[in-house]
Amino acid sequence: MNKLGIYVQVPFCQTKCTYCNFHTGVVASSRFAPYAEAVCREIREHRDLLRAAGVGEDLAEKAHSQEWLCHEAVVDTVYVGGGTPSLLDPAHLQNILDAIRETFAGNLEEVTLEADPETGEAEKAAAWVRAGINRVSFGLQSFADKELIAAGRMHRRADIYRAVPILREAGIRNISFDLIAGLPHQTKESWRQSLDELAGLAPEHVSVYLLEIDEGSRLGKELLQGGGRYSAGAVPSEDEMAEFYEMAQKALGAAGYHHYEISNWAKQGFESRHNLKYWRREPYLGFGAGAHSFSGTERWANAHDAAAYVAAVQSGRLVVEQHEKLTADGALEEELFLGLRQLDGIDLARIEREYGVTLGGRFERIASAGLVEREGSVVRLVPEKLSVSNEVFVELMR
Ligand code: SF4
């Protein structure tokens, strides 16, 4: 039986990174408490709110059926992401996690908090652990101050070295680091340095993302319109980024990390259980402004605007901005795209059986181009070609 994951979105940041145009805002801290209260209310009243909004019907049905009720542990992972959720008062995080425990059956085995290194303080970290947080995902992005400054990040290299021991002393045994390949001013040497320093701190889990520049972000506008304020001219080329990715593959492999998803590496047993649900198309419920949910057959997202979200929940409503009932074709595409992101690959025989399709021909072209490999009915991306995995996905759609 699939266990349910819960995602909580906290859309507040200390500053806006130059490349980012997410629906996150730099707001007065006085807005945090009403937001946290709205999230708690949404969690506690989610059945009525979802029913009134006309979404997640099959999930509600399953939750009431024997299939779900006969298992005591229903919710097993929580991921509090953002934005920068570590900005919230730990009491707010405690209230949100209490609301989850009181509303859902289950045992919260993996509870992740996204944090920025400059927000890590001993008192806060101890309170996080008391609240039940047992995994912290640090948005480090780089160990080079020049890159951090250019990207508009608040923390510096020294903050990373200050924050990690604080977390360890507080009892966090599962730390994940995010790095971004392709930040302005990044060079092969500085990237190597970041990878070496990361390995020296030995987090249990690592995510490496290629820089994605939103067109509406300050850096995106500068790239399109010119200018020198946000270092658009110092953004590495796509070829350099691919090289950085391949360097990360080698360095992390040599440091004992198991590459289990295109952007993710883990020490054995520390794969992100919550994020695996996304790639395996298992159900999750999202709470908070802009949070996405997936029931197995429907996807929907809450309204992005945090103030509008709070006002709606306070008046007993949920504003759903996107809602999609998946067709069989849509579900099949998701199986392929999300499944192939995992380095273990996908079982074509299972997918063909479940969807009543024949897929062999679709994979022959990309297999003969050396982009995927086949072992029995399992197809997986070729590790040496992961930096061009987009080509696989484009080919699959032809
Ligand atoms: S990249 Fe993350 S921390 Fe930076 S502004 Fe966007 S959401 Fe906030």
- List, for residues 206-234, the tens digit of each pLDDT value: 999 999 988 899 999 999 998 889 999 99
User: How many degrees, rounded to 5, is the angle at CA 171 between CA 169 and CA 172?
Assistant: 110
CA distances to 95, 103, 132 from 98, in Å: 5, 8, 9
CA-atom Rg of the chain in angstroms? 21
Distance 24 CA to ligand 1 centre (A): 7
Which residues neighbour 288 within 8 Å (Cβ) at sequence distance 6 or greater? 8, 9, 10, 11, 35, 39, 42, 302, 309
Contact predicate 192/255, CB 8 Å = no
Torsion over CA of 299, 177, 380 and 354, rounded to 10 degrees? -20
Q: Are 219 and 213 in contact (CB under 8 A)?
A: yes
Q: Of the ranges 26-30, 213-217, 365-369, which one carries the lowest mean pLDDT score?
A: 365-369
Measuring from atom 2 of ligand 1, which residue has the nearest CA? 83
Measured from the Cα of 116, ligand 1's closest atom is 3
Lowest mean pLDDT among 142-151, 226-235, 262-271: 226-235
Residue at 61: amino acid letter: E
- Closest residue to atom 4 of ligand 1, CA basis: 17
Mean pLDDT calculated for residue range 182-199: 98
Q: Which of 22, 138, 148, 217 to mutate to test the pocket of ligand 1 (most atoms within 8 A of CB)?
A: 22
Per-residue pLDDT, 112: 98
Name which of 53-57, 256-260, 318-322, 355-359 the model is least confident about.
53-57
The pick from 12, 14, 16, 87 for probing ligand 1's pocket by mutation, whose C-beta has the most ligand atoms within 8 angstroms, reads 16
**Ligand 1 pocket, mutate which of 9, 12, 13, 138 (most atoms under 8 A from CB):** 13
- What pLDDT is recorded for position 331? 95
pLDDT of 371 > 90? The answer is: no
3-state SS class at 114: strand
What 8-state DSSP symbol labels residue 119? G
Which atom of ligand 1 is nearest the CA belonging to 21? 6
Q: What is d(CA 386, CA 343) in angstroms, rounded to the nearest whole number? A: 9
pLDDT category at 138 given cuts 50, 70, 90 is very high
The confidence band for 336, taking pLDDT boundaries of 50, 70 and 90, is very high
pLDDT, residue 59, reads 67
Q: What would the pLDDT profile of 103-121 be if each residue is shown by its tens digit?
A: 998 899 999 999 999 887 9
d(C-alpha 264, C-alpha 271), whole Å: 8
Which atom of ligand 1 is found nearest the CA of 16? 5
Mean pLDDT of 276-298: 95
Burial class of residue 127 in the structure, from the number of CB atoms within 10 Å of its CB (0-12 exposed, 13-18 middle, 19+ buried): middle
Residues lining ligand 1, judged by CB closer than 6 Å? 13, 16-17, 20, 22, 24, 82-84, 139
